Amino acid sequence: MIGARRGAIGVILAWLACGLTACFVGGGTVGGAPPAPGLVVYVGTYTDGGNRGIHRFDFDPASGDATAPVLAAESENPSFLALHPDGRVLYAVNEVDSFGGERAGGVSAFAIEPATGDLRPIGRQSSGGADPCHLAIDPTGRNVLVANYGSGSVAVLPLDAEGRPRPASAIRLHAGTGPDKARQGGPHAHAVLLDPGGRFLLSADLGADRIFIDRFDAAAGRLKADEPEAVRLDAGSGPRHLAWHPSGKYLYAINELRSTVTTFRYDAVCGALEPLQTITTLPAGFAGKNKAAELAASADGRFLYGSNRGDDSLALFTIDAGTGRLAASGHVSTGGRTPRHFAIDPSGRWLLVANQDSDSIVTFRLDGPTGRPTRVGASLPIPKPVCILFARPRS
């Protein structure tokens, strides 16, 4: 399963660096946020091909400078990463299909060493399903929520006082299929995202063409299917990742198989999603094969970005402030092949793209008035980039 999934979806790693320091020129800030202090960036990887685990480097959002990456901790296929709300513990899925004699992957926890940013393993637990590919921490810091792609399930893992994951307190099995027989023969949970109030869990399922909605009890670590329990997308869409508009009024889903983004109006009282619009991520006239991957909104809510694997581009959309609807605003080459993941730094000045199949990281400066990314500097080599995670400054 995981081998097929890597070939189909790519890897998650991400960021600057590799043996040299990159220096970039600062630019306008999307959203008007002031420059943030220096950050530590963690990079998740797949550990075949000589990779050994999670890497880190320092990043200066005032200048765009980055230090050469170093290994922060060894771990097996630590593909997607998340940070505890207190900033002291980092979590990684171990994207495998065998754990402790069961068909499952793992979730690993690492204490962050304040002086160095290095990671110290403090616990590992079954993810409750095979091939976990995404995770999130609830705002109270009590639970890890994880999407198990291979099993088509989401699970809740309570955290102890030290932040170590415990056995799953809830597992929600998805159901459903789609018309793509190769990718949608059954459910494949691909992302988990809590609503801004922390009351509802939304999970994108690529195989079922649905976003499932569960009521979430952080204190008990429980899930209860909402009514209705899911919203359907167009057949064959393959919803992959989700992103909130900063207002919390709108949700965006990037659909891998159809290369589209769907806009939803969100009802925070009952957790319901109302589809408003679906728009392509591809430029006019594109006729090749493509799989959409990541999406993110700017902090000021004026722009949305999505990545295309095939066209190998970033799609830029403007967001209507009154309706949340999108308007296409152009495309920019990612400077490499198969942009699996990207992230915007907390200052809003920089967007970094992980080009999986060219083993490269490319940095873009974001223009404040237009939101347009402009490439700066040379690409930086790092093997199989997968997930980019910004952490707060080291003490």
| Closest CA relative to residue 184, chosen from 137, 235, 233 | 235
| Closest CA relative to residue 244, chosen from 297, 307, 316, 308 | 297
Interatomic CA distance for residues 119 and 43, integer angstroms: 12
CA distances from 157 to 24, 99, 126 (A): 40, 15, 9
Interatomic CA distance for residues 169 and 222, integer angstroms: 7
> What number of other Cβ atoms are within 10 A of residue 270's Cβ?
13
Q: Return the structure tokens found at 279.
A: 């728009």
| Closest CA relative to residue 211, chosen from 200, 199, 197, 196 | 200
| Closest CA relative to residue 307, chosen from 316, 320, 299, 298 | 316
Tell me if the bond preceding 373 is cis, omega within 30° of 0.
no
Interatomic CA distance for residues 356 and 14, integer angstroms: 8
DSSP state of 8: H
Interatomic CA distance for residues 113 and 72, integer angstroms: 10
The larger pLDDT score, comparing residue 37 to residue 356, is at 356
**pLDDT, mean of residues 142-153:** 98
Interatomic CA distance for residues 352 and 341, integer angstroms: 9
Q: What is the pLDDT of residues 9-67, one digit of tens each?
A: 333 333 323 332 232 223 333 444 444 468 898 988 888 877 899 988 888 888 887 88
Biggest alpha carbon–alpha carbon distance for the chain: 54
Q: Given pLDDT bands bounded at 50, 70 and 90, which one contains residue 393?
A: low
The larger pLDDT score, comparing residue 395 to residue 40, is at 40
Q: What is the pLDDT of residues 326-354, one digit of tens each?
A: 999 999 999 999 999 999 999 999 998 88
Q: Return the structure tokens found at 205.
A: 């399922």
| Average pLDDT for the chain | 89
Q: Which domains, from first to last, does the chain contain? A: 2-391 (2.130.10.10)
Q: What is the pLDDT of residues 242-257, one digit of tens each?
A: 999 999 999 999 999 9
Q: What is the pLDDT of residues 76-129, one digit of tens each?
A: 999 999 999 999 999 999 999 999 999 999 999 999 998 889 999 999 999 999
Q: How far is CA 317 from the centre of its chain?
A: 19
Whole-number pLDDT of residue 29: 37
Q: What is the pLDDT of residues 224-245, one digit of tens each?
A: 999 999 999 999 999 999 999 9
Check: pTM over 0.85? Answer yes or no: yes
| Closest CA relative to residue 292, chosen from 248, 262, 324 | 262
**pLDDT, mean of residues 166-188:** 98
| Closest CA relative to residue 298, chosen from 280, 321, 322, 277 | 321
DSSP state of 22: B
What number of CA atoms fall less than 13 Å from residue 358's CA on the CB side? 18
CB 110 within 8 A of CB 99: no
Interatomic CA distance for residues 236 and 232, integer angstroms: 11
Interatomic CA distance for residues 56 and 17, integer angstroms: 9
Whole-number pLDDT of residue 59: 84
Asked whether the predicted pLDDT for residue 2 surpasses 70, the reply is no
Interatomic CA distance for residues 6 and 238, integer angstroms: 16
CB 23 within 8 A of CB 64: yes
CA distances from 103 to 148, 151, 166 (A): 11, 9, 17
Whole-number pLDDT of residue 235: 98
**pLDDT, mean of residues 309-318:** 98
